[in-house]
Structure 1
Amino acid sequence: MAFEEIVGQERIVEILKKTLLNNTFSHAYLFEGLEGLGKKQMALEFAKGVICSQEGMKPCNVCQTCRRIQEGNYPEVNLIQEDGTIKIEKIRELQKDIQMKPYEGRKKIYIINHAENMTVQAQNALLKTLEEPPAYATIILLTVNGNSLLPTIISRCQILKFRPVEIGKIQQVLMEGRGVSREESRMVSSFSNGIIGRALKLLEDEDFKRIREEVLKLTEEMLRRDTINLLESVDFFTKEKNQIEEILDMLVSWYRDLMIYKETQELHFLMNCDRIEEIQDQSNRIGLKKIRDIIFIIDQTKGNIKSNVNFQLNIEVMLLNIQEVLVW
């Protein structure tokens, strides 16, 4: 891994490279952003740069120190991550270790992954360390939500916010790095929400592919106007209840593609660009107003689910209302 391999975070890479070049380190950093944007990779790369034993541009990624950090086998780089809550005992271990000067090199790095999972007691304990950190230590907090941390902790960190990545950049990575076709890479990138980690997972996610096929099959069934078969589709939604938000987003993306194609005849704006023939066919069979009405019905259903309206009844009403729009 190198800085250049972290996609879409060029601004942060430049800030950290400048820090390494000028040897001007903060004692604490807060990397904030959605899961899958490369926060942990960035923290490890920065740790290599801080400790790298070579002259010139750092990290060199070839010296023994860089290789050991990459392999997770360097005692002065400590990655703290728990399956659940990060309790005060874990922070006390950090505090005990941080008081001991580096055994190898001149710096010690502590990376706390999912820092939002620290208990209040753990955060208060960490605050004491942040107030008077040893000169040789740097603490990096990784979080999806900085607001979950105490304001006093945030105020003592240099904050670097990771932003979603442009779809075109993700598509390029999938095509050039993974050999994915233009159509599939565009589709996967569109469903990634700008998160490179999510895009890479979707490539291998058979459940995503299966659910998407069921959703697209449903759009065709609704055009056949078979109410009995349509209501049987409720079983699919119930079975995949945990994925309901993703399923409804898939439905919205499909009908938005129909609307975009119907209005512009342009293909490069479509999310489901691997299903051009179906999009062309359905857009020719459904009027523009009907497509807009269907999108409104799905969005309304999403809101009802968030408001804890009866799940099965909500889905049944959505399907019947969409079919009613198509029949009318």
Structure 2
Amino acid sequence: MNDFSEILGHDKIKEHLQNAIKLNKVSHAYIFNGESGAGKKSLAKVFSKTLQCEAKGDNPCNECHSCKQAESGNQPDIIWVSHEKPTSIGVEDIREQVIGDIQIKPYSSKYKIYIIDEAEKLTLQAQNALLKTIEEPPAYGIIILLTTNADTFLQTILSRCVQLDLKPVRDEVIQNYLIKNYQVPDYQARFAVAFAQGRIGRAVSIVNSKDFMEMKEHALHVLKYSNEMTVSELIDAVKYVNNYKNNINDYIDLMAMWFRDVLIFKSTNDANLLIFKDELTRIKKQAEKSSYEGLEDIIDSMDKAKLRLKANVNFDLTLELMFLTMKDNL
């Protein structure tokens, strides 16, 4: 990502950040809040690169030493805070990588910028440790929190940061971008856009991921044939879904999209409204056989499955209940 013009959407946020640079009113603490794949990292990268650019404009020059370092991920004064535990960012991570380091002046730039990705994983102790630095930062210090849920932060942190909420990018903008830059066919771009729900990064990962396409094929197989499968075969299917455990919300979302298509077709008989347009025959058949109540029960079971998994209910049992609800209502 070379400059602000290459970031799709988020025009008001880009304008805010560029104006802050032009007017020399850059805050010491920012929160970029938005769903996974919404573009938080891209914004943080370009903003940081621009702040450190030797040309001192409101867009990076991409020619100076600092810009080249930033593009390669080696700018010493742009620090991406890491964490070993996958589910939390602890107080020691913050003390070692931010609090202890920020007292050292920048190596070669005007600012020292700390970017904390997945900041919703900050523990309460880590947030409290970070708070003092946000309250009394050195003149050169900037902290950027990237999060999918700003509500997890202490109110004292929220009140001291500039919060920028990323909105979904328009579908046609993402679709045109995918077709132009990734040479994908229209139907594939339309599906990626529908699934991504305004998140450009998510749409790009869908068209580029072989794993996603394999997961989609398995989900479609279960969707098409679950009413013909025995309980034993459904349980075997659940065991196979363990391969997608790390992306289980995507797997369930694929299934929910399918049944929303069935429900929409049953209501409207309009194939143009479908996401799975290439599966019209099967969708039409399921729409004819299923009741409105049954389809709503299936979709509801998928929402419940996601909540149960989030609450660490047994994985196989949760999926079995969802699959059996689907079988019973088709």
The Cα of 1:192 is off from its aligned counterpart by 1.7
Change (3 A) 1:78 1:315: closer
Q: TM-score, normalised by structure 1?
A: 0.84
Indicate which of 89, 92, 95 corresponds to 2:92.
89
Q: Tell me the equivalent position of 2:26.
A: 25
Q: Report the Cα distance in structure 2 between the residues aligned to 1:187 and 1:294, rounded to whole angstroms.
A: 25
Q: Report the Cα distance in structure 2 between the residues aligned to 1:23 and 1:78, rounded to whole angstroms.
A: 22
The Cα of 1:137 is off from its aligned counterpart by 1.8
Aligned length: 316
Q: Tell me the equivalent position of 1:63.
A: 64
Q: TM-score, normalised by structure 2?
A: 0.83
Give the secondary structure class of the aligned counterpart of 1:191.
helix
RMSD: 2.8
Indicate if the aligned counterparts of 2:10 and 2:167 stay in contact, CA closer than 8 A.
yes
Change (3 A) 1:316 1:98: closer
Indicate if the aligned counterparts of 1:76 and 1:109 stay in contact, CA closer than 8 A.
yes
Structure 2: gaps spanning 5 or more residues: none
Q: Give the share of equivalent positions with the same residue, in percent.
A: 34
The Cα of 1:227 is off from its aligned counterpart by 5.8
Q: Tell me the equivalent position of 1:73.
A: 74
The Cα of 1:196 is off from its aligned counterpart by 1.9
**1:123-162 equivalent positions in 2, closer than 5 A:** 123-162=127-166
Q: Tell me the equivalent position of 1:174.
A: 178
Change (3 A) 1:267 1:11: farther
The Cα of 1:13 is off from its aligned counterpart by 0.9
The Cα of 1:233 is off from its aligned counterpart by 3.3
Indicate which of 195, 200, 204 corresponds to 2:204.
200
Indicate if the aligned counterparts of 1:32 and 1:162 stay in contact, CA closer than 8 A.
yes
Change (3 A) 1:66 1:322: same
Q: Tell me the equivalent position of 2:293.
A: 293
Indicate if the aligned counterparts of 1:6 and 1:42 stay in contact, CA closer than 8 A.
yes
Give the secondary structure class of the aligned counterpart of 2:142.
strand
**1:215-230 equivalent positions in 2, closer than 5 A:** 215-221=219-225, 226=228, 228=230
Give the secondary structure class of the aligned counterpart of 1:139.
strand
Give the secondary structure class of the aligned counterpart of 2:27.
coil
Q: Tell me the equivalent position of 2:192.
A: 188
The Cα of 1:135 is off from its aligned counterpart by 1.5
The Cα of 1:65 is off from its aligned counterpart by 1.4
Residues 180-205 of structure 1: per-residue CA shift (max 9 Å, x gap): 11110101121123222222222233
Q: Report the Cα distance in structure 2 between the residues aligned to 1:245 and 1:116, rounded to whole angstroms.
A: 18
Which range is displaced more, 93-102 or 190-199?
93-102
Q: Report the Cα distance in structure 2 between the residues aligned to 1:312 and 1:57, rounded to whole angstroms.
A: 50
Residues 33-58 of structure 1: per-residue CA shift (max 9 Å, x gap): 12222212211211121121115443
Q: Report the Cα distance in structure 2 between the residues aligned to 1:202 and 1:72, rounded to whole angstroms.
A: 24
The Cα of 1:175 is off from its aligned counterpart by 0.6
**1:40-59 equivalent positions in 2, closer than 5 A:** 40-59=41-60
Indicate if the aligned counterparts of 2:8 and 2:200 stay in contact, CA closer than 8 A.
yes
Give the secondary structure class of the aligned counterpart of 2:329.
helix
AA matched with 1:293: E
